[in-house]
Amino acid sequence: MPSPLPVPPAVFFDLDGTLVDSAPDLGGACDWLRAQRGLPPLGIAAYRPAASAGARGLLQVAFGVQPEDPEFEALRQQFIARYEAHLADNIYAFDGIAELIAALQARGISWGIITNKSIELTRVLVSRMPLLQSAVAVVGGNSAAAPKPSAAPMLLAGKLAGVDITQCWYVGDDERDIQAARAAHMPCAIAAGWGYAPSSALHHWGADAVCSHPAQILDILASA
C-alpha cells in the first residue's frame, strides 16, 4: 500500500463481481440459450468465474465459441436480449457493500461506478437497485472512447463526478480494473477478493491491496 495515502475525494467501483453479484442472472441467460438448443443447464457455478468477462467469456463457457466464430454474434445478441429482460431477477449487492457505501458517504467521500457493461444495461440495473442510485458518476463500457483497461472510462468518471481522478481510488475484481487504474494514474487500486476472480490470481495483478471483504477498505481508509 502506498504511503502516505491521502483520503480520496471519491472511490470508484467496478459493477459485476465488485458491487453486485450478477452471476445468477448472467448464467441464467446462458442456460436459457442452451435450453433453446436442447442442451442441459451448466448451473451458475460454471459461469461465475467468467461473469466479469461479459458476453465473450460467458458464451465461451456456455458454447465454447469465440468472437471470431461465425455463430458468436447471433448468440451474443440473443444473450443480451434475454439478459436485459431478466437482469435484476436474482441480483444482490455483496455482503458489506451497503455498509461500505454508507461509510464513504458519512465521511464525505463520493463514490461511483466504472464498468465494462454497456451503459444501457448499466442504467437499467442501477434504476432497479436503490443502493446504487447515490453514485455520483456511472460510466459504462461504451461511454468512453475505449473500455477498461483503457484510462478513458476513468477519466470520464472523474469529469462527471467533478473530481481529480488522480486523487481517487478504484476497486475491481478483474485484472483490467487494476490496469485501468494504473493507466489513469490513480493512487490506489484495490483488488476485490470477494468477486469472481480466483484467489490465486489476485496477488499477481499488481494491486495496492487485496481485500477479501468490503469492510477492509474502511480499514485502509482509517489509516489514510
Asked if 139 contacts 115 with a C-beta cutoff of 8 angstroms, the reply is yes
Q: What is the distance between the alpha carbons of residues 181 and 175, in angstroms, rounded to a whole number? A: 10
- DSSP code of 20? E
Catalytic residue among 14, 31, 174, 208: 14
Asked if 171 contacts 217 with a C-beta cutoff of 8 angstroms, the reply is yes
CA 105 to chain centre: 20
Asked if 170 contacts 18 with a C-beta cutoff of 8 angstroms, the reply is no
Residue type, 71: E
Dihedral, CA atoms, 206, 211, 214, 218, nearest 10 degrees?
-90
Q: Is 89 a catalytic residue?
A: no
Contacts of 73 (CB under 8 A, 6+ apart): none
Q: With residue 139 as reference, give the H or E element that holds it.
A: strand 138-139
Q: Residue 12: phi, psi to the nearest 5?
A: -105, 150
Q: Is 16 a catalytic residue?
A: yes
Catalytic residue among 16, 173, 174, 177: 16
Q: Which residues are catalytic?
A: 14, 16
